Structure 1
Amino acid sequence: MAAAPGYASEPDAREPVALLRAYLRRRVSDPINLHSRLGLLWASTLQKDLLEREEQTRMATEVLHVQRSDGGFSLEQLGHWKRQDGSAPGDGSDGYATGLVTYVLLRLDDPTLRPATERALSWLRAHQDREGFWDARSANLSRKNDDPFVRFFMRDAASGYAVLALGEAESGRPPTR
């Protein structure tokens, strides 16, 4: 809807867009995990009538409750997934969660979130690997022995979100809220 300006007002798109908005509105009060709520929060920065500002603030506050003392975020804390292979979950902040959360919170353009986003941006700046990527672990199982595509999937996603967050912070342009 936001990526294709005018799409939502096209006659063939009105009903599907209305159904999508209704679905997303129902999800606001669902006890879904923080990862899913971040998706809804992100969508609300692109579709200005999706959430009220108070709802955005409430969701952002929920997310900030899991910010770690080092300024980063952990994927495990965003979803509380049960690992399929029984391996221990990660025990620290990761690039995927920190990049995603930071990007979404920056898109809200809320001055009260600045201290938290600055801490997260500092974490991102300090944790880029020498090879250029940001690391992350699969929420489901250990991927150490998988083929490179599977093994690096989360690393690549983490790097993408980190770049989005750092770019958003450095752009100086207000979000399209």
Structure 2
Amino acid sequence: MREQHLTVPVDAQMGEGLVAVKAGTELDVDLRLESVHEGVLVTAEVDTTAEGECGRCLIDIALPVEVEFQELFAYHSGEAFEYEVQDDHVDLEPLIRDAVVLALPFQPVCRPDCPGLDPETGLRLADHPELVTPEHSDPRWAALTGFTASEDEGTGDEPDADLQRD
């Protein structure tokens, strides 16, 4: 068994969308490589920082990314293993890339209670609290503001649904 700590720069951007791990960012990788009967068992913890913009207010943000994975690299390709030991080496780049990209949030926010942007002025509501209305109504839903749901009281004459199935 070997344990190693590596700090590696990212060659190409990891991820697309609102946040991504930019090229040149460093990955801190804690590895444990264990020799097992079938091959090499790799356990890894990866820490880095993703940069992008908040999905609500569009300011620049930096988010910590922490992922863990464990994968077996097989010695023989005859069995159903996804990864193999090639010339006494294991290629961790695709595993690290997949784990980091899957850990990136789809809708990142600068803080959990980010109010976003004012729909009329486009100003950040966090910077202009006077624009925050207690009950902000979306004009697309205005026709439903007076709607009240009716309650189904029934007449009591309906046969039991369980008896109908028999």
Same fold (TM over 0.5): no
The structure where strand makes up a greater share of residues is 2
The structure where helix makes up a greater share of residues is 1
TM norm structure 2: 0.20
Taking CA–CA contacts closer than 8 Å with sequence separation of 6 or more, which of the two structures ends up with the larger relative contact order? 1
TM norm structure 1: 0.19
